[in-house]
Amino acid sequence: MPEADSAKGEKKFYEDVPMKTPGFFLKGASSLDWGMKNRLSRIFNPDSGRTVMFAIDHGYFQGPTTGLERIDLTIVPLMYYADAIMLTRGILRTTVPPSLTKPVVMRCSGGPSILKELSNEELAVDIEDAIRMNVAAITLQVFIGGEFETRSVHNMTRLVDMGLRYGIPTMAVTAVGKDMVRDARYFRLACRICAELGAQIIKTYYVPDGFETITASCPVPIVMAGGKKIPVLDALTMAYNAVQEGASGVDMGRNIFQAEAPEAMMKTVHKVVHENLKPAEALEMYETLKNQD
Ligand code: R5P
């Protein structure tokens, strides 16, 4: 029986020493193939090394989420201000104009609805179809500690294998069940497992205590998940802290599309992520843009 890591000594994360990235701007990506690096460079801005990804894939398990009822009317116009869009193939093909050249991060898992056990997912998109849609990355949930943990991890390793075959990076989303503790210890475990098993990008939640240990111990870029709608200043502060503490950007949905002024919020998050705009100034920017709208 393998032993759990029960060493008594304090762990050393060297949070203040960034991992070296020889030959490429993103950590963990130096040895990847040209196509993979090119796709990553479309998602992450090579100058800042960061991204503002816009998550609108909620419908794949919870139907027409508040703010996403009419993607054609309210969401498509916002896509032009994002660095990348994360969505399902149904919405891409029915609603997004093919002339939009933003990199697409394609939701490739699904199965259970909000009415059932969410960790019971399967892969739900073929790699051939992902290629047909010219995606920049493929993505799925990984439920570490969830009821169907092994299935979701194997979904990920299969997706990683398919992606590697064609130079398409996989983004693993660390999903948190209702009863799970959201702390640094849990997210270090979840993120590291996903990276060790091959994901090239990890999307995970921000925690106020020890987030830098999560980014430091994960050898691939982490993007911060937005989570449920919170006050604007709190959301901007969370995004600011995440990038200061080692995240390579954000993947936000509800805190953008459920904001009173979504376009203002998107533009402000962009400044926070790429230009390190501080939270108080960012709030000011948001209010100014909101009033202009
Ligand atoms: C994970 O469950 C999905 O990717 C979500 O649909 C999406 O990431 C949620 O984004 P947010 O929490 O920022 O609304």
Q: Can you spell out the DSSP letters for 32-43?
A: S-HHHHHHHHHH
Pocket of ligand 1 (CB under 6 A): 55, 57-58, 173, 225-227, 252-255
Atom of ligand 1 nearest to the CA of 57: 6
Report CA-CA distances (Å) from 53 to 27, 151, 165: 18, 27, 24
Ligand 1 test: best mutation among 52, 54, 57, 107, most atoms within 8 Å of CB?
57
3-state secondary structure of 250: strand
CA 210 to ligand 1 center in whole angstroms: 22
Find out whether 185 and 207 touch, Cβ atoms under 8 Å: no
Nearby residues of 274 by Cβ (< 8 Å), 6 or more positions away: 45, 47, 48, 50, 52
Sequence-ordered alpha helix ranges (H) in the chain: 34-43, 59-62, 76-79, 89-95, 127-132, 149-166, 184-196, 211-216, 232-244, 254-257, 262-275, 279-292
In this predicted model, what pLDDT tens digit does every residue of 128-179 receive, in sequence order?
999 999 999 999 999 999 999 999 999 999 999 999 999 999 999 999 877 7
Find out whether 138 and 171 touch, Cβ atoms under 8 Å: yes
Is this structure's pTM higher than 0.85? Answer: yes
3-state secondary structure of 51: strand
CA 57 to ligand 1 center in whole angstroms: 7
Nearest C-alpha neighbor of 83 from the set 249, 264, 222: 249
To the nearest 5 percent, what fractions of the chain are helix, strand and coil? 40, 15, 45
Find out whether 140 and 156 touch, Cβ atoms under 8 Å: yes
User: What's residue 1's pLDDT?
Assistant: 53
**Residues with active-site annotation:** 203
Report CA-CA distances (Å) from 213 to 173, 209, 245: 18, 9, 9
User: What's residue 51's pLDDT?
Assistant: 98
Atom of ligand 1 nearest to the CA of 60: 6
CA 217 to ligand 1 center in whole angstroms: 23
CA 54 to ligand 1 center in whole angstroms: 9
Ligand 1 test: best mutation among 58, 201, 224, 236, most atoms within 8 Å of CB?
58
User: What's residue 45's pLDDT?
Assistant: 98
For tokens 């949070």, name the residue: 15
Query: Using CA positions, which residue lies closest to atom 10 of ligand 1?
Result: 253
Nearest C-alpha neighbor of 259 from the set 248, 267, 250: 267
User: What's residue 2's pLDDT?
Assistant: 61
User: What's residue 177's pLDDT?
Assistant: 75
Listed as ranges, residues in the chain with pLDDT below 50 are none
Find out whether 253 and 50 touch, Cβ atoms under 8 Å: no
